[in-house]
A and B are shown apart, each in its own frame.
Chain A
């Protein structure tokens, strides 16, 4: 199967799964059946040609696999009767090839909502979304998260179990629930992106590119939920962040901070698309959490040189972010923007307030930012002490290496 064919199958997989789950209700069995249908397509289409309505073909084959399987398992006879009763008679007849059944987009959207249901743990929702909506194999997801395949298989099967037992049905949420569900979807996609973005600095050639996968899923979500300004906001945030990927780490995976990056390596095409999305989304009304972050990322990306960064505007956007989220990391970024707009001393003054915030709980980022600002004021001994404190607290290897190299550089003068 060539790349176009694979691409088509991955596009169709969630739609087909959504359609089969909607008909038969059993998520687990439906997933197996869809997997079999996709395999059949991968074998047959290259020689027999892609059917006129590939989606209908896949739904039909998956439905047949599902009913075959149920028939062959005598222990499941009762369920067969249930399916026969639940299937509307007209659905036993395949649609004509030129007619796409109604609601195929709804099916994908419901599937996404189901996989990102707030009742699931984050880890389960992530795994299930990548599997059911992203069409990745369990082995691919396991290797992306560096856990054994058996562990990931358990996580996915538990997620399905929770869906079954929590009574999360395969149906569109009620209108007053849609907002919360969209938030959950965005959060899951954001976490997938972060996982991929963080991993991209290591020896990760064998791993599935989760950042690219998150962007693909965010694009799909944007197509399904075009009216929500946060969806293009998140897509833009991902594009604008990922655009800097080629410049953010050195040959041995070491971190290169934003102000030292070679900006000629940034992906101009991704930046242009991200900036355009931010503009479009901003025009729709008040900006939310992701869109504001995307707007900040856009300001960084649009500065051809670090000295051209529009810090006053960034500081304003962080102030807006602080008003809608009490995330202490936002307050920390705001302090940096203030330091860049006014003086490092003003930034340090804001950090003193954060020192008393118990939610930081000795987070290394606070020490690292303080170290950076102290370095700018010229107080090198204090900067070194704070870099050292940060290096002792971080759980990220490249970040620790970066902090230790800062200390070494400052001591060498």
Chain B
């Protein structure tokens, strides 16, 4: 079964907080993510993973069919958190997806402390589950 793991960060002022981190702290964070992805790849579980550009660059596009689409700054201003990256994994159980999310949540931040990032876990919809 496939799951999408979405990593959310506090909205703040619309840029990533890492810009205030020390280089070695940032380095440790990046290394953690690389190791996590390598582990998933080697386990044959990784379908895809991407980090997203800061929300300052995000645009919300809406179109009702006729005329030019409406393009505004995004993400939705009322939200306190925004999506910073995601994984899609193909795993044996929901528990395994939760375990991966828990691991990702512990990515180190300032002082090497686990950030406790909020990871939203959503099952990817599939075709009908079985033949019965």
**A binding-site residues for B, Cβ under 8 Å:** 121-124, 127, 145-148, 150-156, 158, 193-194, 197-202, 241, 255, 329, 333, 395-400
Contact = CB atoms under 8 A, between A and B. Distances in A.
A151 B42 CA distance: 8
Contact of A154 (B41, B124, B130, B132): B41
**Lowest 3 CB-CB distances: which A-B pairs, in order?**
A155-B44, A154-B44, A397-B125
Interface residues of B, number: 22
Interface string B31-61: 0000000000111111110000000000000
A255 B47 contact: no
Contacts of B123: 395
Nearest to A201: B127
Contacts of A153: 44
B79 interface: no
Interface of B: 1-2, 41-48, 90, 92, 123-132
B126 A148 contact: no
Contacts of B1: 395
B41 A197 contact: no
Given A122-B92, A329-B132, A158 B43 contact: yes
Given A121-B92, A333-B132, A151 B41 contact: yes
Contacts of A197: 130-131
Q: Which of A153, A329, A396 has the most CB of B within 10 A?
A: A396
A229 B125 CA distance: 36
Contact of A151 (B44, B127, B131): B44
B123 to A, nearest CB: 5
Contact of A152 (B44, B92, B127, B131): B44
Contacts of A241: 131
12 contacts: A123-B44, A145-B90, A146-B47, A150-B41, A153-B44, A154-B43, A154-B44, A194-B129, A194-B130, A198-B128, A255-B128, A395-B125
B22 to A, nearest CB: 34
Contacts of B2: 146
A83 to B, nearest CB: 29
A121 B43 CA distance: 11
